[in-house]
Structure 1
Amino acid sequence: MTEREPYAGTARKLVLAFDVGTTYSGISYSILDPGEPPVINDVTRFPATDRVGGNSKIPTIVYYDREGNPRSFGGEALQEATLELAEEEEWSLHVDDLDIPALPPFKNAIDILTDFLGYLFQCAKRYIEESHANGRDVWASFGDNIDFVLSHPNGWEGPQQAQIRRAAVRAGLVPDTPEGQARIRLVTEGEASLHYCLESRNAADGFRDDVGVMIIDAGGGTIDVTSYYMTSSESPPTLHEIAPAECRLQGSVFVTQRAGQHLREKLQGSRFGTEEDINLMKNEFDKTTKLRFSSPNDPSFIRFGTVRDRDLDYNIRSGQLKLPGNEVAALFEPSAEAIIAAVEDQREVATQPISHVFLVGGFGASDWLFARLRDHLEPLGLQFCRPDGHTNKAVAKGAVAFYLDHRVSARVAKFTYGTRCAVAFDRNDEEHLRRASSAIPRPSGRTVIPNAFSAILCKGIAVSETKEFRKDFIVECAERNTCDTIATEIVCYRGNSRNPRWADSEPAMFSNLCTVHADTSRVSRTLSPRRGFAGMQFYRQQFSIVLKFGLTELEAQISWVEDVSVHTSTVVFDHVVEAI
């Protein structure tokens, strides 16, 4: 367990962490009182939680009426009265699962997240008011001094992070101002799970100096795998990420999807092979059979009907279907194989040896999955465990610990980041000769080749939060006023090449993350004209692209010199950007 120093702030603050999961969502929080060590708490009471078999999470469900208004959330959406009213009034159900119905008119994914974040905020408010002595006064004492930690899968990047921030603003959590945005922290599920493990007494022995640890967060939709190395050279000891984070789409909902398909094929010809009965069986499998399954040597049962329902040719007796254990294991196996592949990828590229592996997440509660992974990992000399039985709390609780403790000081770039640009034509370069037909003359008289890729931060590089990665570029303009703005796109390369040179060689591997731009109008007025081809006058502006990974978000800037001081800004404009 982490022993925290007393909170050094001068005013009471609330930290709320929302984990919006594929199947279930949860909330953790910490009330920061000046002079008191922070304590992490969970919201353990939600409306209608008796319907979901637990008190620390709610199903990620929203019901919308025909006008697109949210009418019911979470466990409340599963109550009999709600289901009856929804059918009568033809409400639309949004479940964050693979069987997503068509969204209500004029609704998109950001709208859904906005509504659900607003509901979680109200749940947190209600819980604190009802659970703490003088709870309403406690809540009122926070005012606007509330910070939010929002988690997301390892595989999500800048565009998805921007959408999360937008949803938080629209939900009314914070105002759309720089001060409001500063109250939102984003954290990957992998890093949140790491901080959760650091909180666990059962996992404490695995975190020692010179020891590599791996965290497998097995959730409803994604499998997030991250690896770290603890060092005591800093005080307090911190952890460095030692391999690019992995994210695989093989969470527990995929087991349920495979079960539905298997049942459709298995019950063809049976009177219980209707889509209605298949859906009943699939839902029952998801709620009970999947959770109880532990051994391929024992049969599993799916109860869906009454004692009068039977079809002996299809192993249906007394309203339940009997499935051989090996058939159920086959439904789990693709997820287990995906996890094992991610683990092996991490071990292969990790810069330090890994000795301990921790399994967390709602899917991690599966006894079959735990046994399957243990059988693979322990012969490799890896210590493997589940920190405790409340794995579904890992991300929300770990997100608060991330905010309070901030134990990771360096992360590994998952991809290569840079920009598209042009490079000076080199007659001695065979690739340039092949591309000669696309050459572009510049005002200076030089010739450049477009569609080059200039890497600024390469995959696998360890990045501290304060380290900057920069590269210098130029633009040439025939008219002075066209140097008033500079812009370029930040591009992510997801391929396997260690030295990607051309953005058009693997177009599917390059994607735009964002556009950074700068207002350089003041400095453009001071540019001296130059003489180029045939005495043509032109202007040249030099600037740098700067990349930083503060916390878990990529920050991109354009930097230029103006009046001997360095300026940074962002704008959008088109120029031919050249590497220098």
Structure 2
Amino acid sequence: MDFEKLTIDERKIIVGIDFGTTYSGIAWAETQRPDRRLPVTSWPVSKTIREGESSDKVPTKLRYNNNNIEWGFSIPMSAPTSEIIDWFKLDLEPTLTSPAGVMRNSAAREGRNVDKLVTDYISALGDHLMYTLKEKLGEGVVKSTPLEFVVTVPAIWTDRAKDKTKQACMRAAGLSTTKPLIHLISEPEAAAIYALHGLDPHGLKVGDSFVICDAGGGTVDLISYTITKLKPILEVTEATPGTGSLCGSTFLNMRFRNFLKAKLGNEEGFDDEVLAEAMEKFERTVKRQFTVNAPPDETYIIPVGGLANNKELGISRGRYSLKASDLQMIFEPVIQEVIKLVKDQISSSAVPISAVLLVGGFGASNYLKERLRSSIDKKIKIMQPPNAWLAVVHGAVMKGLAQCAPEKLTMVKVANRKARKHYGTEWRTRYDEKIHSHLREKKHWCGLDGCWKVYTMEWFIRKGDSVSENEPFLTSFVWTGPVTQGRIKKIKMDIYADRTPRDAPVARDDNVSLLCHVEADVSHIQENLLQRRKGNDGQWYYEMNCKIEAVYLSASTQYTLLYQNQRYNSVTAEYV
């Protein structure tokens, strides 16, 4: 394919940002060379310790040092642990509960605004990205080529947490200088696009279904897909609504930290610096090397410089020997949680599952793979695509390329997704004793139509429905208001969601929660174009027959108002 033939308006630089709980990654590509996706691997470093740190990702850590913001590898290793802010991504979604026995570490975050932390961190990422792009492409190219960002978010998050991420990106100094387009994509979907693109030899065929298990630092997200087409491009549809929970590898780190404090916390010389060095060794080496086949008495060396020799505790020459049996105890509760998620996803699927694809940093764990292997049906293949740690960020770039020029640059297409909940809005409807008897107390008189009315739910999507980016949902409604109260300037609508597994209810109850306020500015529509009607009570009313169009994307929703065949994009959605 001749990518040079892209039209001028299709020429862009696409940037994927994988903002993670423990590590974050950036990759980018030019639309003219879409097969060349380049991850950022060199990062600013603190002058004191590390020289020329090269890594596929950068730690998601901040430190406010007087007026300086230090981030990632630029935080000196000697910095007190109490000043380092990490795992703050989890605070965007406080509704998720942590696994049993694990406390979220938020000492350094207390009293800090999570939106500011996320904005500051993404600003730093954005500044470094712009520096990298100018270095690689030259300032002229970067200035003259539009940038588009695709930011990944956990699929299990609420719409509000996803929207908060997007808002932080829009505020981030490093990104906002170019006023670019920012799209959201769910992490498992991004991982699926990347993993499937490289899966040709694995013999998955049309009709086969598989689970993508994206096991990252904080969240584990699962989603099942069915292959519907192999040529000209691979096309899949979601087989079951996604699931997931907080049981990523961060929780292994927390369990290790708690274990070490309990074991060595009372030893003389054990302090933040010793703990930080031990954590680094666990994170970079031990956690990744541990396998199911390790004999129980095998040991892993953890540095504990400055601690006196203690044979009983296993400390010798500043090194602590961590037993495989202890490591298994640290791993198992978190692994069990992931196994349960995978088993539940397989059993809730309406179609037989042929394979489980493990992606994400934790997804690359040999221990997780082997434990999963021994826990599920032997007929199901377990695959770990190469480069699993970067699957999400590469998939984000591939999605961004496809959005720019769908015909030319789509490599893997997710044709349909499954709605995770019922979506709808509340309108007044004529009271009908046969249907609404349970709402009798709530009926009220309508002067315009001269009848009793009652508020009921109008569901435009039901849980499990197939939703496609190419097929918007339209909801018709009539907006009324007495002419005596002045012209209509804004049309407001509340969108509700019901996450429970039941059938969608007739009227709103305690399980139906407000998702967002959608507001359309119609003040620019000329007064004489607004329809009016005389009511049964003799008063004049505005009566506008409108439609709201909702397009459900991978991790966000776009709303448009339609009135008298005109499209009004002046619709804002504020998530609550």
Deviation at 1:93, TM superposition (A): 2.7
List alignment gaps of at least 5 residues for structure 1.
Answer: 574-580
Deviation at 1:460, TM superposition (A): 1.1
Q: In 1, Cα distance between the equivalents of 2:304 and 2:142?
A: 53
| 1:450-461 equivalence runs, <5 A | 450=455, 452-461=456-465
Q: In 2, Cα distance between the equivalents of 1:297 and 1:454?
A: 60
Does 1:99 find its partner at 2:105?
A: yes
Deviation at 1:372, TM superposition (A): 0.8
| 1:14-163 equivalence runs, <5 A | 14-33=13-32, 38-48=35-45, 55-67=55-67, 69-70=68-69, 72-80=70-78, 83=79, 92-96=83-87, 98-103=104-109, 108-128=113-133, 132=136, 135-136=137-138, 140=141, 143-163=144-164
Q: In 2, Cα distance between the equivalents of 1:271 and 1:233?
A: 63
Aligned residue in 2 for 1:514: 517
Does 1:6 find its partner at 2:9?
A: no
Q: Deviations over 1:354-384 (max 9, x none)?
A: 21211111112222111111222352x2111
TM-score by length of 2: 0.82
2:187 aligned residue (172, 186, 189): 189
- Please give the secondary structure, in 2, of the residue aligned with 1:421: strand
2:205 aligned residue (208, 224, 234): 208
Aligned residue in 2 for 1:198: 196
* Contact 1:301 1:320 survives alignment (8 Å): no
Q: In 2, Cα distance between the equivalents of 1:484 and 1:122?
A: 40
List alignment gaps of at least 5 residues for structure 2.
Answer: 89-103, 402-409
- Please give the secondary structure, in 1, of the residue aligned with 2:225: strand
1:399 aligned residue (373, 396, 401): 396
Q: In 2, Cα distance between the equivalents of 1:510 and 1:7?
A: 49
* Contact 2:125 2:174 survives alignment (8 Å): no
2:252 aligned residue (241, 252, 255): 255
* Contact 1:416 1:492 survives alignment (8 Å): yes
Q: What is the root-mean-square deviation in Å for CA atoms of aligned residues? A: 3.6
* Contact 2:304 2:320 survives alignment (8 Å): no
* Contact 1:270 1:311 survives alignment (8 Å): no
Does 1:568 find its partner at 2:568?
A: yes
Deviation at 1:250, TM superposition (A): 0.7
Count the aligned residue pairs.
539
* Contact 2:300 2:324 survives alignment (8 Å): no
Deviation at 1:20, TM superposition (A): 1.6
Does 1:413 find its partner at 2:434?
A: no
Q: 1:287 to 1:436 in 2, by over 3 A?
A: same
Q: 1:266 to 1:305 in 2, by over 3 A?
A: closer
Q: Deviations over 1:259-298 (max 9, x none)?
A: 3334445568766888886666555434443233223643
Q: 1:528 to 1:32 in 2, by over 3 A?
A: closer
Aligned residue in 1 for 2:97: none
Does 1:369 find its partner at 2:377?
A: no
- Please give the secondary structure, in 1, of the residue aligned with 2:559: strand
Does 1:492 find its partner at 2:489?
A: no
Aligned residue in 2 for 1:466: 470
Q: 1:476 to 1:32 in 2, by over 3 A?
A: closer
- Please give the secondary structure, in 1, of the residue aligned with 2:433: coil
Identity %: 24
* Contact 2:498 2:504 survives alignment (8 Å): no
Aligned residue in 1 for 2:353: 354
Q: In 2, Cα distance between the equivalents of 1:103 and 1:145?
A: 35
Q: In 2, Cα distance between the equivalents of 1:7 and 1:209?
A: 32
Deviation at 1:386, TM superposition (A): 0.8
Matched residue type, 2:85: H
Q: In 1, Cα distance between the equivalents of 2:2 and 2:195?
A: 19
Q: Deviations over 1:279-318 (max 9, x none)?
A: 6655543444323322364344462434862445545455
* Contact 1:336 1:369 survives alignment (8 Å): yes
Aligned residue in 2 for 1:546: 549
* Contact 2:149 2:400 survives alignment (8 Å): no
* Contact 2:155 2:555 survives alignment (8 Å): no
Aligned residue in 2 for 1:303: 302
Matched residue type, 1:150: V
Q: In 2, Cα distance between the equivalents of 1:52 and 1:347?
A: 44
* Contact 1:418 1:454 survives alignment (8 Å): yes
Aligned residue in 2 for 1:165: 166
Bigger mean CA offset, 470-479 vs 314-323: 314-323
Matched residue type, 1:200: G
Deviation at 1:467, TM superposition (A): 0.8
Deviation at 1:24, TM superposition (A): 1.0
Q: In 2, Cα distance between the equivalents of 1:558 and 1:99?
A: 44
* Contact 1:284 1:304 survives alignment (8 Å): yes
Deviation at 1:438, TM superposition (A): 2.8
Q: In 2, Cα distance between the equivalents of 1:263 and 1:145?
A: 49
* Contact 1:479 1:539 survives alignment (8 Å): yes
Aligned residue in 2 for 1:576: none
Q: 1:367 to 1:184 in 2, by over 3 A?
A: same
Q: 1:44 to 1:287 in 2, by over 3 A?
A: closer
* Contact 2:550 2:558 survives alignment (8 Å): yes
Aligned residue in 2 for 1:445: 450
Matched residue type, 1:498: D
Deviation at 1:417, TM superposition (A): 1.0
* Contact 1:18 1:150 survives alignment (8 Å): yes
Deviation at 1:523, TM superposition (A): 6.7
Deviation at 1:92, TM superposition (A): 4.4
Aligned residue in 1 for 2:430: 424
